[in-house]
């Protein structure tokens, strides 16, 4: 069976679009793994404890750092309004870390880590969202791919594969509006899922057979399809520009699949993202 795989995008904590079939395949055959633990504000054993005054000062410094990127304000306002406990937890964790290290991460990295924290704590609810909220996540992935393709095909492929990349953080700093839109889409899908609670069945073998057939009809060849659906690296490697284009065709094709098929795949992908 050809299976879609979505994983984290390294430091940025956004979803990669390809990177292998094993994650979903294991989930379907063995049951979905337990969600990992969420980080807390407590320092690791042996690390010196900081005073409340130091932590308060670090929290103010973190909040000031976030103000240097006003494009992210809507995301944090939405997070504070819809999930206030997660907002406070995020600030506590990074205030503790900043107080201990004496350093403050960039606004882009802070935002990425806030997105990841929310995804780990509540992201599974996004799989239960209504059609519009769920589809919007993948519409923005497609927008991100197009933007990356115009800038650097190698960075586009890095996004496809969930690569850990300083270059992507630099790209984020130059495209904060798009990054913020992706982050807000995640909050909205989680919130919608919390309300709608839609239970979708897992995608089937015929679902992925139909997707593969549609990809071939769009002109993708076997190495590209295997890399997209099975995570098999090409030998020789597929050129970055060609693979970047294949990723865009893949998302376009998936978006055109029958609604029931499309939403089954989207739902499981989002669920596994939350458990990664």
**Residue 66 confidence (pLDDT) above 60:** yes
| Res 272: pLDDT | 75
Instruction: Tell me the pLDDT tens digit for each residue of 225-244.
Output: 888 877 666 678 899 999 99
Exposed e or buried b for every residue in 154-169, given b needs 16+ CB within 10 A? Answer: bbbbbbbbbbebeebb
Determine what percent of the chain is predicted with pLDDT higher than 70: 79
The average pLDDT across 128-147 equals 94
Which residue has 């989930």 as its token pair?
A: 27
Cis? peptide before 151, omega within 30° of 0: no
Instruction: Kindly report the pTM of this predicted structure.
Output: 0.80
Instruction: Tell me the pLDDT tens digit for each residue of 12-50.
Output: 223 444 432 233 333 333 444 333 333 444 555 555 567
Q: What is the DSSP letter of 15?
A: B
Tell me the two tokens of residue 69. 């990127």
| Res 5: pLDDT | 38
**Residue 96 confidence (pLDDT) above 70:** yes
**Residue 143 confidence (pLDDT) above 70:** yes
| Res 52: pLDDT | 87
| Res 1: pLDDT | 38
pLDDT band at 133 (very low <50, low <70, confident <90, very high): very high
**Residue 124 confidence (pLDDT) above 50:** yes
The average pLDDT across 262-276 equals 83
- Those residues with Cβ within 8 angstroms of residue 166's Cβ, 6 or more apart along the chain or in another chain: 11
CA distance 231 to 19: 5
- Domain ranges in the chain? 10-32+126-274, 52-121
Burial of 247 (0-12, 13-18, 19+ CB in 10 A): buried
| Res 164: pLDDT | 56
pLDDT band at 158 (very low <50, low <70, confident <90, very high): confident
CA distance 122 to 129: 12
Q: What is the SS3 assignment for 127-139?
A: HHCCHHHHHHHHH
pLDDT band at 135 (very low <50, low <70, confident <90, very high): very high
Q: Which residues pair with 100 in a beta bridge?
A: none
CA distance 11 to 28: 27
């Amino acid at each position: 069976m050809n299976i879609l795989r979505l994983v984290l995008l390294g430091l940025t904590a956004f979803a990669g679009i390809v990177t292998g079939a094993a994650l979903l395949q294991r989930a379907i055959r063995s049951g979905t793994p337990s969600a990992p633990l969420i980080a807390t504000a407590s320092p690791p054993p042996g690390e010196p404890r900081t005073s409340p005054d130091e932590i308060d000062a670090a929290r103010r410094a973190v909040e000031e750092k976030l103000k240097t990127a006003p494009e992210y304000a809507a995301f944090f306002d939405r997070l504070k309004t819809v999930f206030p406990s997660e907002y406070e937890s995020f600030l506590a964790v990074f205030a503790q870390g900043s107080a201990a290290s004496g350093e403050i991460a960039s606004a882009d990295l802070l935002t990425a880590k806030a997105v990841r924290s929310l995804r780990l704590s509540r992201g599974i609810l996004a799989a239960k969202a209504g059609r519009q909220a769920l589809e919007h996540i993948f519409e923005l992935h497609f927008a991100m791919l197009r933007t990356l393709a115009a800038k650097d095909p190698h960075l586009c492929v890095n996004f496809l594969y969930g690569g850990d990349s300083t270059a992507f953080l630099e790209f984020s700093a130059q495209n904060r509006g798009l990054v913020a839109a992706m982050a807000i889409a995640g909050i909205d899908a989680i919130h919608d899922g919390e309300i709608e609670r839609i239970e979708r069945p897992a995608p089937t073998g015929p679902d992925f057979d139909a997707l593969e057939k549609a990809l071939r009809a769009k002109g993708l060849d076997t190495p590209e399809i295997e890399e997209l659906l099975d995570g098999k690296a090409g030998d020789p490697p597929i050129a970055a520009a060609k693979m970047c284009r294949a990723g865009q065709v893949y998302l376009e094709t998936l978006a055109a699949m029958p609604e029931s098929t499309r939403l089954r795949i989207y739902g499981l992908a989002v669920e596994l993202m939350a458990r990664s």
